[in-house]
Every structure is written in structure tokens, then in C-alpha cells.
Structure 1
Amino acid sequence: MRAGLPRPRRPYEKSPVIDGLSGGTSAEVARLERSRNCLWPGAVAEAVRAWAGHVRLPRGRTWPHAGCAPCYCCPDPWEARESLDRVARALSRRGARELRRVVARHDQLWDPAPASYRDEGPW
């Protein structure tokens, strides 16, 4: 490269699409992923995918990689769920509402009983 010429910019990687989020919220999530040290491009989509996969497992089964060494090959679904809560707190009100709505659809699969049945005893 010759001196004085600007370096070509690297385009940002396109973040994976999360169903249920608007374009504005997706852009806000992408900005958050680029600005936080604990996140990377696509981290929120990966956390949603990990939690969604976990809640669809049969109830008696644990997360499939329970014996895996600490690495990034198999994300812990409980850590993923906690990180989704942290991300929602960092977003704007509208963005947080949209992300919580997406996560709530998966949470409902984890505990599908209506609230009226949860509080009743066995009889």
C-alpha cells in the first residue's frame, strides 16, 4: 500500500437474524455486540439458539454437553439465558421489550403450565 492512502474498511459481518426482532432492534443488538467485551458478532443469536434448543429437550434430560470442558463449542444454556437478560437490560425499552418477547416464547416451553395451575396443590 502506498503511504497516504486510507486503508480499505472491512465491512461488518452481518449478524444472524433473530426471528421476532425488528430491524431497529437487530441493529441495536449488533451495535451492542460490537461495543461490549463479553459479546461478539452473533452472540445474542447464539444465546437464543442455545436456550431454544435446551427448552425443547425432554424434561428429564440435561443439556447434551454436560461433561464438556469449558470451551465455546457447546454453550451452556443457563449462561445463555442469563446473558439474554443482561443484553435486554442494556437495550432501549423498545428493544428490550422485543427481545424479552422472543425469549418468553421459549420460556413458555420450559414451564408451559398456566399460572392458575402452578399455584394449586396436588388436589
Structure 2
Amino acid sequence: MPRRRPGQVRADLAVRLRCRKNNRKNKLYPINGVSRSTLYAIVRIEETRNYLWAGAVRDSLRRWRSFVHDPAHRLWDPDYPGCIEWLCCGDPRDSRENLEGAMLALPRPAARELRAIVMRLDELY
């Protein structure tokens, strides 16, 4: 039986918790299409930036993705304050601004990886 490569074995292991202020407070939230090193970079900026909270990038990306894929979404009008439904679920404009702030704060390789996902969504919008 062929031997598995050590890198593959390490990739299959559970993600280790490290570099946390409060070990239980800010855990690693998985984001599809993002590498583990980028996830750690996202956790670091969520801990150090006061405009982000634990899981902010994942929540913002999920909200922006659901808004873009919704067939009834409206064009983005900055003068329009939003609809009533956004008050309970969150404004997609705020989500996009959170993503932009995170991409500016991330190191270059991690920002490039997150920006590729967000740019695909922006093209659909």
C-alpha cells in the first residue's frame, strides 16, 4: 500500500488553536476556498482590529454571498438606506465594507486569496 505524504497527513489533522488572546473566545471559523494560513491571518486581524469581531469575516462573506446570489437583489444605491428586512439580517453594504477593511488589514498573500473570492462575488453583482 502506498505511503501518504507527510504534508497530506498534516492537512488532514484537526486545526490547532494558537495565537489566541482568550483560547476559547476566538476560534478558527472555516471559510470555503481559503487556506489554513489565511484563516490564521484572519483570526489575528479579528483579534487586533476594533471594527471586527470573532467570526466577522466569515459572517460578512456569508451575508455578501447570500445577497449576491439572491435573484431579487437590487442594485447598490448608496443613497438608499436599505430595506426593512436588512435591519434584522444585516446590511450587505456593511458586510462588503467589513470585507474591504479585512482585505486591507491582511498580509498580502492572505489578502490576495480573500480578494479573489470577493471579486468573483462582485462580478456576479
Q: Distance in 1 between matches of 2:51 and 2:74?
A: 29
Q: Is the radius of gyration larger for structure 1 or structure 2?
A: 1
Kindly report structure 1 stretches of 4+ aligned residues shifted beyond 6 Å. none
Q: Which residue matches 2:9? A: none
- The letter of the residue matching 1:98 is E
Whose helix proportion is higher, 1 or 2?
Answer: 2
TM-score calculated relative to the size of structure 1:
0.69
Q: Which residue matches 1:41? A: 54
> Does the Cα contact within 8 Å between 2:52 and 2:98 map onto a contact in 1?
no
Q: Aligned to 2:68, which of 34, 55, 78? A: 55
CA shift for structure 1 position 56? 1.0
- The letter of the residue matching 2:99 is L
Structure 1 pair 69–83 and aligned structure 2 pair: CA distance change class (3 A):
closer
Structure 1's unaligned 5+ residue stretches are 1-8, 111-123
1:83 aligns with 2:89: no
Q: Distance in 2 between matches of 1:19 and 1:31?
A: 18
Give the CA RMSD over aligned residues.
Answer: 2.4
CA shift for structure 1 position 76? 0.7
CA shift for structure 1 position 75? 1.5
Q: Distance in 2 between matches of 1:60 and 1:24?
A: 33
**How many residues matched?**
99
1:29 aligns with 2:42: yes
Structure 2's unaligned 5+ residue stretches are 1-21, 77-81
- The letter of the residue matching 1:53 is S
Q: Which residue matches 1:19? A: 32
CA shift for structure 1 position 108? 2.2
Structure 1 pair 39–54 and aligned structure 2 pair: CA distance change class (3 A):
same
- The letter of the residue matching 2:89 is C
